[in-house]
Chains A and B, each alone.
Chain A
Amino acid sequence: MAVVVKDLRLAWRDRAGWASAGAFATIAVLTYSFAFDLATGDVRPLLPGVLWTTFLFAGIFAGGQSFARESEEGTFDALLLSPVSPTMIYVGKALANVLAMLMIEFAQLVLATILFDTNLVSLELLVIVIIGTVGAVSLTTLLSTMSASMRGRAMLLPVMALPLLVPLLIGAVRATGAALSLDAGTAPWTLLLGVFALWSAMLSVLLFPMAVER
Chain B
Amino acid sequence: MNLLFGPLRRVYGLWPFVLPPIAGTAVMAMIIGALVVAPREIIEGEVQRLLYIHFPSIMAAYGAFAVVFVASLVVLWKRDMRWDAVARGAATVGVLFTGLTLATGALWGKPVWGVYWTWDARLTATLVLFLIYGAYLLARSMADELDEGAARFAAVFAVIGAFDIPLIMMSVRWWRTLHPQPIVFRGGGEAPAMPPEMVLVLLIAFIGIGSLAAWLTVLRSETEWTAKRTAALRAVIDRREGA
Contacts and interface: CB of A to CB of B under 8 A. Distances in A.
Contacts of A184: 178
Contacts of A170: 171-172, 174-175
Contacts of B142: 150-152, 156
Interface in A157-195: 159-160, 162-164, 166-167, 170-171, 174, 183-185, 187, 189, 192, 195
B28 to A, nearest CB: 36
B15 interface: no
A57 to B, nearest CB: 16
Contacts, number: 93
Given A151-B142, A167-B168, A211-B152, A160 B135 contact: yes
Interface of chain A: mostly helix, strand, loop or mixed: helix
Interface of B: 76, 128, 131-132, 135-136, 138-139, 142-143, 147-150, 152-153, 156-157, 159-161, 163-164, 167-168, 170-172, 174-175, 177-178
B25 to A, nearest CB: 37
Interface of A: 139, 142-143, 146-147, 149-152, 156, 159-160, 162-164, 166-167, 170-171, 174, 183-185, 187, 189, 192, 195-196, 199, 203, 207, 210-211, 214
Given A152-B142, A214-B148, A167 B171 contact: yes
B172 A166 contact: yes
**6 smallest A-B Cβ distances: which pairs?**
A167-B171, A187-B174, A146-B153, A163-B131, A167-B167, A185-B178
Contacts of B175: 170, 174, 185
B205 to A, nearest CB: 29
Nearest to B159: A207
A163 B132 contact: yes
A163 B137 CA distance: 14
Given A142-B156, A207-B160, A166 B168 contact: yes
Contacts of B159: 207
Nearest to B133: A163
Contact of B161 (A164, A174, A183): A164
Q: Which of A151, A166, A184 has the most CB of B within 10 A?
A: A166
A214 to B, nearest CB: 6
Given A147-B139, A150-B139, A210-B76, 8 more contacts: A146-B156, A150-B153, A156-B138, A163-B161, A167-B170, A170-B172, A210-B152, A210-B156
Nearest to A152: B142
Contacts of B128: 163, 166
Q: Which of B138, B148, B149, B177 has the most CB of A within 10 A?
A: B149
A214 B147 CA distance: 10
Contacts of B160: 139, 142, 164, 203, 207
A192 B139 contact: no
A163 B152 contact: no
